[in-house]
Amino acid sequence: MDDFKIPLRTRFAPSPTGYLHRGHVLNAIMVWGVARLYGGKIMLRVEDHDRERCRPEYETALLEDLQWLGLEWDEFSRQSDREEIYLEMLDALRMTEHVYHCQCSRKDILENSMQPGGELWYPGTCDNLDLDEKDNGVRVVLPTYSTGFDDSILGEQIQTPALQCGDILLRDRKGNWTYHFACVVDDFLQKINLVIRGEDLLESTGRQMMLHTMLANPNSPKYLHHPLIFEKNGVKMSKRDFSMSIREERSKGINREKLFGEVLYSAGILPAYRPVAVGELLQITEIYLFRILQKKQNLRRK
């Protein structure tokens, strides 16, 4: 794509809260394919910011699964090793005087908030209460304007995070950093210039771009949200299909060529199922991006 920054730096960022499944494989293929196609670097980032839900054995398992897939990475980081960095960045954010403490539980928010678009929306209950930090969460006030970006696959997007989720939680009441905060700090400081992730995370992007601005990152990354897996052998996937981990599939004897082929087919990236070798992933990614680019150009012409 002509608008990717070179040298390209992207990341694969799984959370070790469970075993990898097909959705992760699709994301890993896209990250790997795009990075290798453009001579870029891949950061494998273990997003273990939630201490309650993450387990070291899931990290070990994900490293092993990735090795089995043959999708290698160039750099490695783990969020639980970066506590000091998040603290520093939080201090920097406090200088803006838009940071406040929040005593609300998830239940409180569920009870008191409207949820436009079905999302949990924080109504700013604790802003101006001047609560101290102890046992409270930390939030930042979001500007009320809309933010736009040109997604590499989906094209122009406009989001208004203040109406979608309200003020963002940076650290929860138990002291866990949140996904948005840790992810933005890392994307910024690790100089990630292309974020490649599934469409299910599209709504995260406007708010993350605002956080980049608040942290004074002059170069917010570019975003590419790829389609999700929706079918297996032409049939819509059920919850059960997603709950089957790659480990389990491996133990049942699947080989990776079959897995790659099924995953790419079920995301609509391959028009028909066929086994795919690692060596073919580059070309498949290239053809896919070419198709997308053409579609986007046709849309612009209309």
Judge whether 162 and 142 are in contact, CB under 8 Å.
yes
Taking CB under 6 A as the rule, does residue 186 contact ligand GLU? no
**Amino acid letter at 12?**
F
Q: Which stretch binds ligand GLU (CB under 6 A): 9-17, 35-43, 64-72, 249-257?
A: 9-17
How many helices and strands, by DSSP H and E, does the chain display? 11, 12
Helix (H), strand (E), coil (C) string for 258-283: HHHHHHHHHCCCCCCCCCCCHHHHHH
Taking CB under 6 A as the rule, does residue 221 contact ligand GLU? no
**Which residue in the block uniquely carries the two structure tokens 């028009």?**
271
Judge whether 18 and 245 are in contact, CB under 8 Å.
yes
Closest to 183 (Cα-Cα) out of 214, 205, 203: 205
Q: Which stretch binds ligand GLU (CB under 6 A): 7-15, 107-115, 220-228, 285-293?
A: 7-15
Within the chain, residue ranges assigned H as helices are 22-37, 56-69, 83-94, 106-112, 161-164, 179-189, 204-214, 239-243, 246-251, 256-266, 281-301
Nearest distance in Å: CB 47, ligand GLU: 4
Nearer to ligand GLU, 24 or 101 (CB): 24
Q: Which stretch binds ligand GLU (CB under 6 A): 12-20, 85-93, 154-162, 167-175?
A: 12-20
Query: Which residue from 10, 15, 164, 245 is in contact with ligand GLU, where contact means CB under 6 A?
Result: 15
Write the binding mask 102 to 141 for ligand GLU: x where contact by CB under 6 A, - elsewhere. Answer: ----------------------------------------
Residues that bind ligand GLU (rule: CB under 6 A) add up to a total of 7
Query: Which residue from 171, 180, 197, 256 is in contact with ligand GLU, where contact means CB under 6 A?
Result: 197
Query: Which residue from 99, 201, 237, 284 is in contact with ligand GLU, where contact means CB under 6 A?
Result: 201
Nearer to ligand GLU, 53 or 174 (CB): 53
Token pair for 45: 């980032």
Taking CB under 6 A as the rule, does residue 47 contact ligand GLU? yes
Question: In this structure, what is the dihedral angle of CA atoms 94, 76, 209, 115, given to the nearest 10 degrees?
Answer: -90
Interface contacts to ligand GLU, rule CB under 6 A: 13-15, 47, 183, 197, 201
